[in-house]
Chains A and B, each alone.
Chain A
């Protein structure tokens, strides 16, 4: 009986410890972002210049083109924003993480951080995009929410791919090669779903189904990341 109580308390302790590790890793990422602001501003500038180039090359796109262009910019922003999360980790620092934490905690903190970063970046992208290209949506709030759902999915996939690509040479370009085929289904789902915000008529319940499907994919990605990252972890 006493032993049982002990194990429970130990389990509680380790769970608490894991959570502490997770939150301090996440805190470290956020702190690093506020200290090394050049990378953050770099991504923001990337968004601004991409949208500006689109604005100059396209005059008055129709709703479908607007939608497609928005998701393509999201895709490229995501690659740029997420790529640095693993590329900036030096080998020595990875060794340090290796000694203080577990791979599952590490990848979960990376996933969370990248989701936060990408949510922020997609909001900036949406603001700039509507400012330059005009607001063609019929329900802006709906489109805003869909863009957030999309940002979560994109950042999850590319975090895992950044982890894979960081083990190879020519990491940044490799990430795009590895990622584009995998992201196709999600991107098609998102483009389809965001047509609700352009007042395209859907069958009853189809948009909800699509959103649920996207969340199911997110869960699948997190699941795969938790299973597979420990194998990438050891060098």
Chain B
């Protein structure tokens, strides 16, 4: 059993985040109402996504330094789980937006065009498109070592391009989204103290959950890899 503490704390933190997130008191804001509780799930998905992508980059760099194929497998697995978290982030965000931002006079999907122009959504969409391209790039190279090397290079290059964009774009465009003046949710004044008690544990919990899922994927991939190389012998 690897990372035992990680799995246990993931379970404990998520049980707390779900029970506490639904039951503990929250500030009463007229526009948000009880939907404010979505903060514990929606924002955490983005945090988990960025952290998982960052772990993926670290493994890509490790691969370029020592050329061990398991680092490549780790990089692609973390990128995969990160993308999954990103999609969940979109799903939770879409539900939230349909209660808060969408024009109540029209069906919610009619507001899609104006909502999508949000800087934070553009940043997230860029990240997801980059990793979509990353998977396409991988599938179009047949040679195993070359695939690992080229995709590691793209991973690092696009990450270096993505981060400036996440800092730059929000400062260029007008936004309804909270956290306009800086990096959302990192600023202590953004979030009510009562919510912080649940929010930070929830971020950790979802991130640990992502890492847990990824370790299982990595183990599976390493086993398939082993089977293949054994068959060849």
Residues on A lying within 8 angstroms of B by beta carbon are 157, 160, 164-165, 167-170, 174, 177-178, 180-182, 184-185, 188-189, 192, 213, 217, 220-221, 224, 228, 231-232, 235
Knowing A167-B141, A185-B161, say if A228 contacts B153 (CB, 8 Å): yes
The residue on B at minimum CB distance from A221 is B161
Kindly name the residue among B153, B158, B172, B173 whose own CB sees the greatest number of chain A CB atoms within 10 A: B153
Judge whether B220 is part of the interface by a CB distance below 8 angstroms. no
> Which residues from chain A contact B150 at a C-beta distance below 8 Å?
164, 167-168, 232
- B137–A188 touching, CB < 8 Å: no
- B169–A231 touching, CB < 8 Å: no
Residues on B lying within 8 angstroms of A by beta carbon are 64, 122, 126-127, 129-130, 132-133, 136-137, 140-142, 146, 149-150, 152-154, 156-158, 160-162, 164-165, 168-169, 172-173
Q: How far is the CA of A39 from the CA of B107 in the complex (A)?
A: 51
- A220–B160 touching, CB < 8 Å: yes
Q: How far is the CA of A52 from the CA of B5 in the complex (A)?
A: 64
- A189–B168 touching, CB < 8 Å: yes
Q: How far is the CA of A182 from the CA of B162 in the complex (A)?
A: 7
Knowing A170-B140, A180-B129, say if A185 contacts B168 (CB, 8 Å): yes
Q: Shortest Cβ distance from A165 into chain B, in angstroms?
A: 8
Knowing A168-B141, A169-B140, A181-B126, say if A217 contacts B164 (CB, 8 Å): yes
> Which residues from chain B contact A178 at a C-beta distance below 8 Å?
133, 137, 154, 158
**16 other A-B residue contacts (CB within 8 Å) besides A213-B168, A224-B157, A231-B153:** A164-B157, A174-B137, A181-B126, A181-B130, A182-B161, A184-B126, A188-B122, A188-B169, A188-B172, A220-B161, A220-B164, A221-B161, A228-B153, A228-B156, A231-B152, A235-B146
The residue on B at minimum CB distance from A225 is B157
Q: Shortest Cβ distance from B225 into chain A, in angstroms?
A: 21
Q: Shortest Cβ distance from B159 into chain A, in angstroms?
A: 10
> Which residues from chain B contact A177 at a C-beta distance below 8 Å?
132-133, 136-137
Contact of B129 among A157, A167, A170, A181 (CB under 8 A): A181
- A228–B157 touching, CB < 8 Å: yes
> Which residues from chain B contact A157 at a C-beta distance below 8 Å?
161
Per CB-CB distance, the 9 closest pairs between chain A and chain B, nearest first, are A185-B165, A181-B129, A168-B140, A181-B130, A182-B161, A167-B150, A169-B140, A178-B133, A228-B153
> Which residues from chain A contact B140 at a C-beta distance below 8 Å?
168-170, 174
